[in-house]
Structure 1
């Protein structure tokens, strides 16, 4: 009889981490860091993730129709990154998010509307150092549906913190993106195994539609 190390990776993980939690009753949709930096071919952070944005925008439209709260996050730093700490020190491309830089603005097509909640952050997780957890708790939210950029960075960090704060968490596969398919797929795989359900856009849309009934 073989050990776990002898098994195919998929079989190995399914044996230990095949649980699926499902959705709760009161969702919020979070769009993480859809900034122009990721869509500008001349920017060091360009990622070619137009399809992820299009998916996220479809989900936002459905959430608005269902009166589901929508949260948009943005990364923003003071000149020189003096409020960015060790993260800004380590990750040099974060200079793209200094306030006033065109690359720091929301991506084309993603304009906050008055009822959207905008969360400004300096670190990967949308929860770290922000009021997001308190805001969602006060609204009675029990489920956080995540979209955004990048899958291996701020989406993953937000996913772990969402679960840690006690929210049922879902990550929408088509609405997340990364600069390379390898970290994208690896992190979706790992989040689905341990922290959240990775769901399709169609599943998330059906869930939002059900909230209208």
Structure 2
């Protein structure tokens, strides 16, 4: 980013929303497909770094009594419930129910008290019970982690904000197939929709609850 561009954005978008009083941690689509070199969705080292960060955040969140919610992408064998998204994005075929690439990524397995929300579209909120579930739990804010930054994390970020939740995106715990889309989308989310924070800030906040 050039200094001129940063200054331009700073003049227009320089607000920090801050953390809420009752957060939930959302772990978006940490699926095996992103970690397998032979898969079209393979993203390399960035996603390994992201899941390791997310697992550290999850550990502290659980100790603090913060709800942890995981999402996964899951389709009928025909893909009909994926609509135009399934038509457009060919790698979504890996998320047909039962496909090995749809399994959880390395080191991640849901605990019994963690809610798993299957979804068919990029946002964790679109067409799912996530927003109403968080509201019923009294949650006022979300911490987002997951894959990929430019896709499902961004879509979930915009919808989280639109549903009225204070939203923080943990940059270290998000990953993409290339640094360009990753950094550009973090920049834009931080400008307009959420506070983009690093793992250390997330851990400090959770530890203080």
Tell me the TM-score range normalised by the shorter chain.
over 0.9
Aligned: 1:64 with 2:68: no
Three-state SS of the structure 2 residue aligned to 1:118 is strand
Partner of 2:182 in structure 1? 184
Aligned: 1:32 with 2:28: yes
Partner of 1:193 in structure 2? 191
Instruction: Give 1:80 shift.
Output: 2.4
- Report how many aligned residue pairs link the two structures: 206
Partner of 2:18 in structure 1? 22
TM-score under structure 2 normalisation? 0.97
Partner of 1:121 in structure 2? 119
Q: 1:8 to 1:36 in 2, by over 3 A?
A: same
Aligned: 1:101 with 2:113: no
Deviations 1:125-161 (A, max 9, x none): 0000000000000111011000000000000000000
Q: 1:183 to 1:137 in 2, by over 3 A?
A: same
Which 4+ residue blocks in structure 1 deviate beyond 2 angstroms? none
Three-state SS of the structure 2 residue aligned to 1:31 is strand
Deviations 1:72-130 (A, max 9, x none): 00000111211110100110110011111110011121100011110000000000000
Three-state SS of the structure 1 residue aligned to 2:167 is strand
Partner of 2:89 in structure 1? 91
Three-state SS of the structure 1 residue aligned to 2:113 is coil
Which of 6, 9, 12 aligns to 2:5? It is 9
RMSD: 1.0
The higher radius of gyration belongs to: 1
Partner of 2:133 in structure 1? 135
Aligned: 1:45 with 2:47: no
Three-state SS of the structure 2 residue aligned to 1:22 is coil
Partner of 1:207 in structure 2? 205
Instruction: Give 1:7 shift.
Output: 7.2
TM-score under structure 1 normalisation? 0.95
Structure 1 spans left out of the alignment, 5+ residues: 1-5
Aligned: 1:145 with 2:143: yes
Distance in 1, Cα, partners of 2:178 & 2:156: 20
